Structure 1
């Protein structure tokens, strides 16, 4: 009896109805782009005494976020968030505030110093900036649109 290939064996296999990169080729290219971004983020964060995880958390704080939401965005256990927030708070980069709507919830807020450090980290991400600068405005808009379509509900 012939064996039916598993889904992971056929993912990325050429589809005769489509032309262009396969699923596997797209995943590899996305992984290389993400790896380059995180290398750049890690190097720039280190210049400011932060780990990549601390910098990543700090960049997510465009508005106050509950610690549980941060754990979801960073794809880690909530217990890890406490340590990250403790270290960022000790440096004056974030503060915790009780949520006015639910006093059991603690929101993490970037301080003015934290917002400035994020600006400096992003400014120091030279390889990422150079990569984006190679794109014209139309390419940037297209990339922005395509990336938004990968996870339209905002989940990673």
Structure 2
């Protein structure tokens, strides 16, 4: 009987990079939660609003983008809609589909959220333009979207 292949161990450098990526992600989410709280939003509401500020999307696509259940997205959109930050509108391509979209007030709140992220202002601002370009290109490459 053949033995199953053993999982490959991470070399120390790769392990350190993985841990640093985890630290960056944790710091980003912590900062995002704080920025959201300044607008009386949860982190999930802020992420959804920021996504909607880029483009209106059907609930199903929002759920896929945010990696959560469609019922969660519905509840979050309901709460944003009650505050006047989001709205539902018919999809011009298919009137049977409803799109969630940021209102003008919601788009402004999303801009303020992005501008309020200390993480983007502090550590990234300490990098030169060339370093930020290199970091961007490496991250894109890691995610498979090319440079």
The answer to whether TM tops 0.5 is yes
Mean CA deviation greater in 78-87 or 120-129 = 120-129
Cα distance in 1 for residues equivalent to 2:62 and 2:122: 29
**Residues 28-86 of structure 1, C-alpha deviations (whole Å, 9 max, x = no match):** 11111011011001001101010000001111120111111110111001111000000
Q: Are residues 1:60 and 2:51 paired? A: yes
Which of 10, 13, 33 aligns to 2:11? It is: 13
Residue 33 of structure 1: aligned partner: 24
| Structure 2 partner of 1:97 | 89
Q: State the Cα RMSD in Å.
A: 2.2
How many matched pairs?
145
Return structure 1 stretches of 4+ with deviation > 4 angstroms: none
Separation in 1, partners of 2:20, 2:129 = 21
Aligned to 2:135: 143
Structure 1 position 153, deviation (Å): 5.1
Structure 2 unpaired stretches of 5+: none
Contact 1:36 1:128 in 2 (8 A): no
User: Residues 61-113 of structure 1, C-alpha deviation per residue, up to 9 Å, x if partnerless?
Assistant: 20111111110111001111000000011111111111122223211111111
